[in-house]
Amino acid sequence: MEKSSQERSSDEKLLAGLAYLLGFIPAVIIWLLKKDQSPFIRFHALQAAIYTGIISFVTVLLLAAQIALMIVMGTGAFIGTNVIADTLEPESPTIYFFLSIIMIMIILVGLSIIALLVISLHLVNFIAAVYAFTGKASRYPLLGDWVERILQKDGALSKG
């Protein structure tokens, strides 16, 4: 039988909430240390660990793509302004200057979009932490079902 939010101890609520806020490694540590003691902590720590792991992986991929874009555009700007402009049209480097400015703007827009996306993903984690701190059961739409199946395979789930 599932405990209500009033029946959960303050330690359970605190550890479940901290699992969401502290990141991947602390969530895994909380899960490993408390998985046999509380179904509530077990579920939320594992859900938090998987979600923050996915967020971290996506962030690294996006930043790697952005760095590759920066290298390509930086190289293009350097070649355009220093090599081509000086050899082909030394009198009119203005167009290459404007192209460089456009490339810089594209890089800044890309970084801004990545920042907004990552902040949004972490905001979802913050909301889940608030639910956990209050002792309410919250589940990510697809991830919650997946975590539940993982815990059921281990025979360790009694809904929390």
12, 130 Cβ separation under 8 angstroms? no
Task: Give 20-33 pLDDT, tens digit per residue.
Answer: 999 899 999 999 99
Q: What is the pLDDT of residue 11?
A: 87
Is 22 within the bounds of a domain? yes
Residue 82 lies in a domain: yes
* Statement: residue 88 has pLDDT above 70: no
Query: Regarding predicted confidence, which is higher, 156 or 24?
Result: 24
Give pLDDT, residue 129. 92
For residue 3, is it within any domain?
no
Inside any domain, residue 150:
no
Question: Coil, strand, or helix at residue 134?
Answer: coil
Please check the confidence at residue 77 and state whether its pLDDT lies above 80. no
Res 18 pLDDT > 50: yes
Domain-embedded: residue 67: yes
Whole-angstrom CA distances from 2 to 27, 39, 153 are 22, 9, 19
How high does pLDDT run on average in the chain? 83
> Based on the structure, what is the number of domains in the chain?
1
CA distance 16 to 139: 12
Residue whose entry in the numeric block shows the structure tokens 């480097």: 93
Provide the residue range defining the domain that includes 136: 10-145
